Structure 1
Amino acid sequence: MAYNKLNNPRAFPGTSNYGMSLRDYFAGQAMAADFADAAIPNDASSALLEARAQLYYRLADAMLKVRADDEALTSTNSMMGMRV
Structure 2
Amino acid sequence: MAYNKLNNPRAFPGNSNYGMSLRDYFAGQALAGAMAGDSLPIDAPPELLEQRAQLYYRLADAMLRIRAEEETLTNATAMMGMSI
- Coarse TM-score class (shorter-chain normalised): over 0.9
Identity of aligned pairs, percent? Answer: 70
Q: Distance in 1 between matches of 2:42 and 2:63?
A: 28
Task: Mark the runs of 5 or more structure 1 residues left unpaired by the alignment.
Answer: none
Counterpart residue number, 2:67 = 67
Q: Distance in 2 between matches of 1:51 and 1:57?
A: 10
Counterpart residue number, 2:2 = 2
Task: Mark the runs of 5 or more structure 2 residues left unpaired by the alignment.
Answer: none
Q: How does 1:1-84 map to 2 (within 5 A)?
A: 1-84=1-84
- TM-score with structure 2 length normalisation? 0.98
After TM superposition, the runs of 4+ consecutive aligned structure 1 residues lying more than 2 A away are none
Deviation at 1:39, TM superposition (A): 0.3
Q: Aligned pair count?
A: 84
- TM-score with structure 1 length normalisation? 0.98
Q: Deviations over 1:52-82 (max 9, x none)?
A: 0000000000000000000000000000010
SS in 2 for 1:58: helix
